[in-house]
Amino acid sequence: MNTIDERIERAGILTEALPYIQKLYSKTIVIKYGGNAMINEDLKRSVMEDITLLKYVGMNPVIVHGGGPDISESLKTYHIESKFVSGLRVTDAETMRIAQMVLVGKTNKEVVSNVNRNGGKAIGLCGIDGKIIECEPLTEDSEGNKIDVGFVGKIKKVNAEILKSLCEDEYIPVIAPIGTDDSGQSYNINADTVASAVATAMGAEKLMFLTDVEGVKDAKGDIIFEITTSSAEELIHVGTINGGMIPKVRACVKAVLEGVNRVHIIDGRVLHSIILEIFTDTGIGTMFKKG
């Protein structure tokens, strides 16, 4: 039996969330879902509970998911070696076939099922559906160097009307990072890039990246709780931000510069990390802002 003090404390937590609920009511929040939060069962459940709660208090969550480990595992089954250039999976025709099968047929439907199990109404999509994501072959890495990575896509346009309609009809769109060109050819696209482009096209209030790190860190290893777009680029330039964090941070910077109000990198290994970021005064992780 909870004591009266414990119940008062819980009431205080709810009232702390009230101004954030008021501010974000009817706003779009794009969530890039990936990392350990897609593997650990407790984390899966907490993420789905958080996202369902956002919908029930009047926000419009949109999920963009990754699936690299699932693709790699399936490629092993077919005895196909995974190759990467500049952090991007080299995607020949057979790899593309398997990536699409895994992302759309397996991973996407698992996420949809998990949202629905927690009381949400999720709809699974990929960029091919309604030509939501129009793309062309990616021929340069983030530094402008020429690369040949096969059927990896560069986004030309996100057609957000379908996504907006689904949100208005009380659904939660769940998007697999596959796009298409004018001829109908499918392309594998970096999920961080897709999340950034979707957030921009939908005029999202927030874009949140669930990761396996606490946030962006400075040269001393301390978390940077707020960072400007110019400071982020400088940390990339001097090598403080490196490796797999570079495309993620670049996606954050791009989204802010193209009009997304707030972009966050948060630790998806923390239970209810989305709620902690959105509904508490302190928040967690790193927030990007223009400057």
Give the CA distances from residue 58 to residues 27, 136, 226, in Å, rounded to whole numbers and listed in that order.
Answer: 8, 36, 27
* Res. 1: pLDDT tops 70: no
User: Is the separation of the CB atoms in 37 and 44 below 8 Å?
Assistant: yes
Over the stretch 215-260, which tens digit does the pLDDT of each residue have?
898 888 889 999 999 999 999 989 898 877 888 898 899 999 999 9
Over the stretch 155-185, which tens digit does the pLDDT of each residue have?
999 999 999 999 999 999 999 999 999 999 9
- Which residue among the candidates 34, 68, 124, 215 is catalytic per the annotation? 68
Q: Determine the Cα–Cα distance for residues 101 and 107; give it in Å rounded to an integer.
A: 9
- Which residue among the candidates 192, 206, 267, 285 is catalytic per the annotation? 192
- Which residue among the candidates 44, 55, 206, 248 is catalytic per the annotation? 248
* Res. 86: pLDDT tops 60: yes
Q: Buried b vs exposed e over 232-269: b needs ≥16 C-beta within 10 Å? A: beebbeeebbeeebbbbbbbbbbbbeeebebbbbbbbb
* Res. 5: pLDDT tops 90: no
CATH 3.40.1160.10 is the classification of domain 25-289: yes
Joined tokens for residue 289:
């802002």
- Which residue among the candidates 34, 35, 127, 150 is catalytic per the annotation? 35
**32 among known catalytic residues:** yes
In the chain, domain spans: 25-289
Q: Determine the Cα–Cα distance for residues 111 and 239; give it in Å rounded to an integer.
A: 35
User: Is the separation of the CB atoms in 115 and 52 below 8 Å?
Assistant: yes
Q: Buried b vs exposed e over 46-69: b needs ≥16 C-beta within 10 Å? A: bbbbbbbbbbeeebbbbbbbbbbe
Which residue positions form the known binding site? 67-68, 89, 188
**192 among known catalytic residues:** yes
pLDDT reported for residue 197: 95
Which residue positions form the known binding site for substrate? 67-68, 89, 188
User: Is the separation of the CB atoms in 287 and 264 below 8 Å?
Assistant: yes
Joined tokens for residue 285:
């992780």
